[in-house]
Amino acid sequence: MENKRRDFIKKAALGASSLSIGGVLPGFSAKSYGNIIGSNERLKVACMGVNSRGYSVGSNFALQSNCDVVYSCDVDKRASAKFITGIDKIQNRKPKHVMDFREALDDKNVDILVVTAPDHWHAPAAIMACKAGKHVYLEKPASHNPKEGELAVAASIKYDRVVQMGNQRRSWPNVVKGIKDLKEGIIGRPYFAKTWYTNNRPTIGKGKVTEVPDWLDYELWQGPAPREAFRDNLIHYNWHWFWNWGTGEALNNGTHFVDLARWGLGVEFPTKVSSNGGRYRYDDDWETPDTQIINLEFDNNSLMTWEGRSCNGRSVEGSSVGVMFYGENGSLVIESGNSYKVYDLNNKLIKAEDGIEEINANNLSDPSQFLDILHIQNFFDAIRKGTPLNSDIDGGHKSTLLVQLGNIALRSGQNLKIDSKNGHILDNKEAMKYWSREYAPGWEQLLY
């Protein structure tokens, strides 16, 4: 199995990114590849937000033979120290620690900013990086709110920078193959896509306002967001469930499969959006829904839904996450991994493509490291060769916007009518309150 796995990795890396050498992956020695490409040929990377998921993404960049991770940017001194030690073991070079990522942007030698900071930082950091002449690898979601997403797209165009969103399944070989089969009519015209995410997240309790720990620059952590007092159940990860910094489960995990649904149905912006949900499981500080349904209708006579259950992990179609396409002649399901299945109208399995790799969708930091190198190398090829991105910021924004509109429908209590040409909300002042956000003094001017 290990030999098959390594063969798959080598072939996938070469086939997907047309590299003369493959990416370095688990099971390979990164140091043995260190001199294949001269140091002056390697892309220089600064990583912003290096705890948990950021540690994993940054490590995956360091494992690639055609780049060097040269900065660790984090407001948590402990996270940065751990990251620096881990990266040194991979590439035999320690990245420099800075609390403020803008110091790395001032370094002319830096080519790329990897943004794995909290959601409220995603678009602002990407925009500032583009202004500074850096390319950006931006973890999903593309933005905290729709206006920021539009600004990030505009910055990429204005400053001619490559910005890839981290919806990595766009680069997974069998997922790509499944969407290709779909578009070639394997189930006829697909007209309904159902997406879902399930988990058994525990309560976050009711936090207490406390002193900021000495290892944390909380002022910089909040960055562009309006100020709130530090509480002891916020950092790390639980910020996802507070509207001031996070975007809820819909954007945290829904973005991935709503993106696949948009891709498979061949749609961009909806015409109608509705959503219901709430915080039902626990009585605690969690603000965003733990249970939510989003419905999106499109002008090509198709429908998309997202079902999020943060606190009940019962699977759908045998998988904790996924997308099912329903068409005229059958259905096609993409589950958590690099695989898909096709059924006819009598529920008979007519095709199955299985990846050899194991994917753990509930692993919060690194569910699919060695598949994600394909996305990273596509990003590098776009910078070096002008290869089209598998998930550019324009497409990333459109997929992010779908779930943002769902959250806006929920928070405003309104069914939304949408302009299918640009995704804008029509004739609804209450809903438009959520299109953008207020910023801490002095921050908004940095976005334009």
- Cα distance between residue 101 and residue 285, in whole Å: 30
Q: What would the pLDDT profile of 252-261 be if each residue is shown by its tens digit?
A: 999 999 999 9
Higher pLDDT, 337 or 164: 164
- 380 with 17: CB under 8 angstroms? yes
Q: What would the pLDDT profile of 44-78 be if each residue is shown by its tens digit?
A: 999 999 999 999 999 999 999 999 999 999 999 99
Q: What would the pLDDT profile of 420-446 be if each residue is shown by its tens digit?
A: 999 999 999 999 999 999 999 999 988
- Into how many domains does the chain fold? 2
Residue after which a domain boundary falls, among 169, 197, 232? 169
Q: Tell me the pLDDT band of 358, cut-offs 50, 70 and 90.
A: low
- Cα distance between residue 118 and residue 99, in whole Å: 15
- 317 with 306: CB under 8 angstroms? no
Are 118 and 184 part of one and the same domain?
A: no
Residue 447 pLDDT more than 80?
yes
CB count, 10 Å around CB of 389?
A: 21
- 276 with 292: CB under 8 angstroms? yes
Q: State the chain's mean pLDDT as an integer.
A: 91
Q: What would the pLDDT profile of 264-317 be if each residue is shown by its tens digit?
A: 999 999 999 999 999 999 999 999 999 999 999 999 999 999 999 999 999 999
- Cα distance between residue 132 and residue 113, in whole Å: 10
- Cα distance between residue 340 and residue 351, in whole Å: 8
Closest C-alpha to 373, from 5, 11, 25: 25
Higher pLDDT, 29 or 207: 207
- 356 with 1: CB under 8 angstroms? yes
Q: What is the CATH number of the domain that holds 162?
A: 3.40.50.720
User: Is 388 contained in some domain?
Assistant: no
State the pLDDT at residue 3.
43
- Cα distance between residue 216 and residue 295, in whole Å: 40
- Cα distance between residue 166 and residue 175, in whole Å: 15
Are 145 and 46 part of one and the same domain?
A: yes
Q: Tell me the pLDDT band of 367, cut-offs 50, 70 and 90.
A: low
Tokens of 236: 């790390």
Residue listed under structure tokens 């120290």: 81
Q: Tell me the pLDDT band of 25, cut-offs 50, 70 and 90.
A: very low
Q: Tell me the pLDDT band of 387, cut-offs 50, 70 and 90.
A: very high
Q: What would the pLDDT profile of 72-93 be if each residue is shown by its tens digit?
A: 999 999 999 999 999 999 999 9
Q: What is the pTM of this model?
A: 0.90
Q: What is the CATH number of the domain that holds 284?
A: 3.30.360.10
**Per-residue pLDDT averaged across 125-133, rounded?**
98
State the pLDDT at residue 357.
58
Q: Tell me the pLDDT band of 448, cut-offs 50, 70 and 90.
A: confident
Residue after which a domain boundary falls, among 111, 141, 169? 169
Q: Tell me the pLDDT band of 370, cut-offs 50, 70 and 90.
A: confident
Q: Tell me the pLDDT band of 19, cut-offs 50, 70 and 90.
A: very low
Tokens of 360: 């753990």
Q: Which residues pair with 326 in a beta bridge?
A: 192, 331
- Look at the chain and count its residues: 448
Are 265 and 185 part of one and the same domain?
A: yes
Q: Which amino acid is at 123?
A: A
- 245 with 239: CB under 8 angstroms? yes
Domain that holds residue 315: 173-207+216-356+393-434
State the pLDDT at residue 356.
63
User: Is 364 contained in some domain?
Assistant: no
